[in-house]
Structure formats: C-alpha cells, structure tokens
Structure 1
C-alpha cells in the first residue's frame, strides 16, 4: 500500500521545463508551509525563504551565477556557464532562495530538509520544481553582498540552496533505476 506521501516521493522528478504560467500566491504559501515544518537541529528554525518572481532580478542572478560558475575548475559546470542559451532556473516563473543563519547548529542540513519539503510539496500540488545550486555563484564577492541586500536577507544569513518552481511543461514519468544494494540490516 502506498500512501500520498510515498506516492509524491516516488513521482517527484527534477523538472527543467516550465510553462509561462505564474505560480499563484496560494501555491507559494503551500510549499513554504511545508518548508517551515521541516526538522531543524535543536528546533532552532534558523532558515529564511526568499520568493523571487521578478523576472529581471532572476535574469540578473542567472548572468552573475554563470559568470561565477565559469571560473571554477569543473569542465561540465564551465560548459553550462558559457552556454548563452542556458538559464540556471530553466525559465521557471518563481525561485525560492533558502538561506540560513551562518552560526546555526546544523544549518546546511536544516536548509536541505526544508528544500526537500519544498520539492515534495510542489509535486503534491502538481507543480514542477528543481533544486538549483548554481545560484550560489551569484553570491560570491561584492555582487553577492549587493544581491543579499537587494533580496532582504537577514544579517548573518547566507544562501544555501534554491528551488526553481513553476508549472510543468511536460509531465515526467521517467523513473530512473534505483540501486538495490544500499541497505544493511544489523539486528
């Protein structure tokens, strides 16, 4: 028997093609509600979520992130960054930036749990989503400080992850093979 949660987990895929339809306020609130119910170390809840729907700002973040990514020592990332047609957000109408307080107990894990909840909640309401780490390159150096201020990040918070969110252009049904020998039982 598969319940709704397990069904959403098994159905969820990284979506990289979105329609131009905007994500509604209600849809954003639904996925953010799931995010704030994620576990956090010591129940500190030291995360912050920034919803970005301003297309010019998303375009600026895309350009800056690609410029930063082009400088790292990874051939695959460099190729993506140098591709003028590549958009790190895949044309999504909404991006949710997941930030955390830098001195949080296990803030990266907390933000990762919240990000996973966003992905699962999006799938459960029929939206597409993709976990995007390339955005982090936009927050390096002086440009990063400017973006942090422009986005209203609280003091001592930094971005850890982001999610491209939108309406799926195609309903993905491809289920990649899952490795079988990844569990040990010790009784």
Structure 2
C-alpha cells in the first residue's frame, strides 16, 4: 500500500468511482481534449489504434438517445431495466452533459479490448482532472434497434466501425460512492 501513497497515478486509480449524478454544467473544452488525447494513447493490439470517438454534447441528440434507450429498456424483458425505463426522470447517461461513444474497426485484431483500454484511460484522465465518469453499456443494446442504428449513421460513426462502449462524463453532482470491498482470491503469484 505504501507505493499508492507516494504515486499520483496510483492514487488516482484508487480514488476513481463510477459517478451517476452529474451537474448540468458542461465540461471545459480543454478537459475534453485532454481526456480524448489520453484515450488515443491507450495500448492497442499491434498498434492498430482501431478506435473512433464520437463526442455528444448536443441536448437534442442526448434527448434522442434517451428516447431510444428508454425503448430498449422497456422492451428488454429484464425487470430491473423495465423499472428503470419507467422512471419519470429516466436518463440513459445519468443527466451527464457529455457522452462519448467509442467505436472500433470490426476488422481489427482485438477491437473490444482496445476500446476498453481507451475508455479506461479516459476514466483515469477524467478523475485526474476532477471529473466523473461512468461506463454506459446500453450503447451496445441501441445497435439492436432500427432507430439506434440510424442514429449511429447520423452521428457519422465510420463505415465498418461498431460501438463497443461508451461513457458519461461531467462534474460530479453528488456524493462520491464508497469503494466496494475487493474480492479475495483473485490473484495468484507464481515465482
């Protein structure tokens, strides 16, 4: 644990939490560009860098995403998602002012892994700048409905690329959650 106390990067990793309550205030352009630059420096299989970042700050487009997300949740058949979709204040991205969809070249060696690493870099960069993030897996379900696929085309996601992950980004508007206890028995060290 002593290394964590001395190293800023390790402290940032330990401090980061998923935030699900955002202020309405938009993030600064410099913060956004720094986070995107950190994403572009993520490791990728064979250095392919198969990612494409679609940043959405338009309230109209976010409203469309919420509409389609609500439809997906209400028709999911998963009780928890159906209840969430029924909520009067439903927001696919927890009312965050910025939403980033990360797409990957489907012909790349390991696009899911590469996209996950890029999003991880964005999480750590955002935390270091005092911003909150949360992974939004629902983008994967939007691919399953016509409206979602049409919206992805409107958002100019490149041909041959598919959304693999996304994140909500903004200033934390609430309490920072306590970390869940770490599971035991997850490490084997063989010397």
Q: TM-score, normalised by structure 2?
A: 0.92
Correspondence 1:120 to 2:124: yes
CA RMSD of aligned residues (A): 1.4
User: What's the CA shift for 1:68?
Assistant: 1.6
Question: Are 1:18 and 1:169, in contact at CA under 8 Å, matched by a contact in 2?
Answer: yes
Structure 2 SS opposite 1:61: helix
Correspondence 1:72 to 2:63: no
Q: Provide structure 1 residue ranges, at least 5 long, that are not aligned to the other structure.
A: none
Question: Are 2:73 and 2:81, in contact at CA under 8 Å, matched by a contact in 1?
Answer: yes
Question: Are 1:69 and 1:77, in contact at CA under 8 Å, matched by a contact in 2?
Answer: yes
User: What's the CA shift for 1:178?
Assistant: 1.0
Per the alignment, residue 57 of structure 2 pairs with 53
Residue 34 of structure 2, aligned match among 30, 33, 54: 30
User: For 1:118-154, what per-residue CA distance to the aligned partner results, in whole angstroms no more than 9, with x for missing partners?
Assistant: 1111001000111101133223232123211211111
Aligned residues: 187
Per the alignment, residue 20 of structure 2 pairs with 16
Q: Which shows bigger deviation, 119-128 or 70-79?
A: 70-79
Residue 181 of structure 1, aligned match among 163, 180, 185: 185
Per the alignment, residue 109 of structure 1 pairs with 113
User: What's the CA shift for 1:173?
Assistant: 5.4
Per the alignment, residue 160 of structure 1 pairs with 164
Q: Which shows bigger deviation, 69-78 or 149-158?
A: 69-78
Per the alignment, residue 92 of structure 1 pairs with 96
Structure 2 SS opposite 1:118: helix
User: What's the CA shift for 1:55?
Assistant: 0.8
The 3 A distance-change label for structure 1 pair 70 and 83 is same
Q: TM-score, normalised by structure 1?
A: 0.94
The 3 A distance-change label for structure 1 pair 45 and 55 is same
Q: Provide structure 2 residue ranges, at least 5 long, that are not aligned to the other structure.
A: none
Question: Are 1:18 and 1:90, in contact at CA under 8 Å, matched by a contact in 2?
Answer: yes
User: What's the CA shift for 1:176?
Assistant: 1.9
User: What's the CA shift for 1:171?
Assistant: 4.8
